[in-house]
Copies of this chain bind each other. A is one copy, B any other.
């Protein structure tokens, strides 16, 4: 458990109370998650908002803030004397609570009683994403499970999003640490990948490297020869001559802050000319997007700028045609770039995704588009200094999607379907780094990682 000084948590809770003004705020800590029987557990992961406001990285806790009474309580049980035989001794929960500035601790079972003393109108809950917490909420507040979503508090979500979106100096230290670990893992793969290896051998290096540094991974890694499959969590393929390897993974620091980086490398020592052309185009879009990051800029605009740059390049390559602005407006480029340019990053790799994209990435006046491509953009709103965002353009050649679009006669004004045959087996390329929005622009998190074609090839040659 990596903790900030208790004043950090006190200050965060104080600001939250000011934003909320009133009510009883409930923070559901996480439980252990069972794998194949109750006591065989996945690695414990505390809820990120619980970590942000209460810091304690242990299962079975619930915390409340009664704003009206200025009361903060952590509900949970000490390890029993008998359990110390099995698990070793652990500081008393009251001692741990003190370390985050909370003086009131009650047994876990007392939450049931407490919940029934509070009128439902005063209760503020976050959307539960784990079924055991859904069940607990239903029981405590005596609502049927399907009606629990009605208890979710928009003002509570908005207040938390406003605080967690702006990263403090101390958080940036942790984010930089997570990104530094991520850079090391990527270097291992970028150097070590060789023709004839299996993807899972590289997965082993990544998982082992993260654990060996005392951390873990912030999301299921993508380490694939089939970069066009965007959420590919299969690792059974062999690295083949002439192919590429796309690695999209990041470390989670012991403090649970996330890193997230993508690189695409050739299996051969150098890129082929076709790979080089596509890679350079993706990199151009990346650099254009990075250059546009600054407070006040809509991230949706940055996304569209990258889309336009990709479209220009695809036109030069003969795959697209027509007016670039019009093509992007109609979403024709999404045949090759189906997803969004990036997302917030913090204690979650998609920061605060559990709280709802409509609050984290959009606003009352900027709603998410329903257009294919744009509907996968997690972040659209204006950037502010202190945001941490990823920039991750890519080009993905998905035969099923090409065939689907062509059969449906989609965007024939902008797509040269006849030319696509040269790219059916190309795969996909993405590059990604995380950036802090500064008062004047942005700066990359962590140490620099090879990204230019020459740099990547030089690293591969080592």
Q: Does A19 contact B (CB under 8 A)?
A: no
Complex: A398 Cα to B84 Cα, angstroms: 9
Q: B-facing mask of A247-286, CB < 8 A → 1, else 0?
A: 0000000000000000000000000000000000000000
Within 8 A of B (CB), among A192-219: 198, 200-201, 203-214, 219
A230:B85 contact, CB within 8 angstroms: yes
B88:A37 contact, CB within 8 angstroms: no
- Which of A34, A40, A231, A349 has the most chain B CB atoms closer than 10 A to its own CB? A40
Q: Does A401 contact B (CB under 8 A)?
A: yes
Complex: A388 Cα to B439 Cα, angstroms: 64
Q: Which residues of B contact A37 (CB under 8 A)?
A: 129, 348, 350, 352-354
B43:A220 contact, CB within 8 angstroms: yes
Q: Does A38 contact B (CB under 8 A)?
A: yes
A36:B85 contact, CB within 8 angstroms: no
A400:B34 contact, CB within 8 angstroms: no
- Interface-lining segment among A130-138, A413-421, A429-437: A130-138
A203:B198 contact, CB within 8 angstroms: no
Closest 5 pairs (CB-CB, A-B):
A208-B208, A204-B212, A37-B354, A204-B211, A88-B229
Oligomer: number of copies: 2
A contact set with B: CB distance below 8 Å: 33-43, 45, 47-48, 81, 84-89, 129-132, 134-135, 145, 198, 200-201, 203-214, 219-220, 226, 229-232, 234-236, 338, 347-350, 352-354, 398, 400-401, 404
Q: Which residues of B contact A204 (CB under 8 A)?
A: 207-213
**Could you list 23 examples of A-B contacts with CB < 8 Å?**
A36-B45, A36-B48, A36-B347, A36-B348, A37-B350, A37-B352, A38-B129, A38-B353, A40-B219, A42-B42, A85-B230, A86-B229, A86-B231, A87-B231, A89-B400, A131-B132, A198-B214, A201-B212, A203-B211, A204-B207, A207-B211, A208-B208, A214-B235
Measured CB to CB, the closest approach of chain B to A18, in angstroms, equals 26
Measured CB to CB, the closest approach of chain B to A364, in angstroms, equals 22
Q: Which residues of B contact A45 (CB under 8 A)?
A: 35-36
